[in-house]
Amino acid sequence: MKAMIFAAGLGTRLRPLTDELPKAMVDINGVPMLRLVIEKLKAAGLTNMMVNVHHFPDIIIKYLGDNDNFGADIIISDERERLLDTGGGLVKAARRYGASEDILVHNADILTDFSIEEMIEHHKSSGNDVTLLVAERHTSRYFLFDENRFMAGWCNVSSGEVKPAGLDINSFSRLAFGGVHILSPRALDRLMDYQAGKDVFSITPFYICNCCNLKIGAYMPSESYSWFDVGKPETLNAARVYMKGNSSLF
């Protein structure tokens, strides 16, 4: 299994921090998020990684080079000419890797201490084409899952939008996506077919369109864990406070 770290985002919610710094280099008590994610993946046995870059890309490239990639085999996926979004970025990575094995995708702005190893084992034993880290967390947008924890759709409770249109959201569990997912070669092949002429696209519509074609399963860790979306000032500060007393967890 290989890994993909999404580190190309503009980090607009973190301005002015990201006016001169890529979001992935925003630190948690002195340690850039990018390093925390790399070390977490390495600890789970994932040493082949791809990191995409767009916003201040040279800062990330220099940081990794100066630190010998923290002992990992890291490839840069350069998106400086055009930000490809999550779907387009993953297609570019899959084409470079070759869609011959699973890829675990981890957002650079997600700080969490759940067991990556356990998620990988669940993905392998389940036979899922895609495994999504999810939680019962308050948000505006949810993935919808049936009684067997397979994805059936998506909804935005703030706007009332539901996809596929006409789906009765009350018949499904609403779970929030946690920014970590695993795609099998079958899912990656279908993703590359789905791209068909468009380079820039989000992966969420792909998942919605393929609920009936792929086994897209929910994964909820068996033990309690901490999770922070550090792409926002309030949650970044919360993560920094939390880490002061729990630094050994990461």
Q: Which of 20-24, 206-210, 243-247 is least confident? A: 243-247
Residue 247 has pLDDT above 70, yes or no: no
Cα distance between the two ends of the chain: 21
- Confidence class of residue 229 from pLDDT cuts 50, 70 and 90? very high
249 pLDDT higher than 70: no
Judge whether residue 136 has pLDDT over 60.
Answer: yes
Q: How confident is the model at residue 157 (pLDDT cuts 50, 70, 90)?
A: very high
Structural domains in the chain (count) = 1
Q: Which domain holds residue 113?
A: 2-249
Tell me the mean pLDDT in the region 106-135.
Answer: 96
Query: For the domain that residue 200 is a member of, what is the CATH number?
Result: 3.90.550.10
Q: How far apart are CA 116 and CA 42, in angstroms?
A: 10
Q: Is the pLDDT of residue 250 over 70?
A: no
- pLDDT of res. 201: 93
pLDDT at 248: 57
Predicted pLDDT at 246: 74
pLDDT at residue 97 in the model: 86
Residue 100 confidence (pLDDT) = 84
Q: With pLDDT > 70 as the criterion, what percentage of the chain qualifies?
A: 98
pLDDT in tens, 18-63: 999 999 999 998 899 999 999 999 999 999 999 999 999 999 999 9
Can you tell me the distance from the alpha carbon of 156 to that of 190, in angstroms, rounded to the nearest whole number?
25
**What is the mean pLDDT of the segment spanning 57-75?**
96
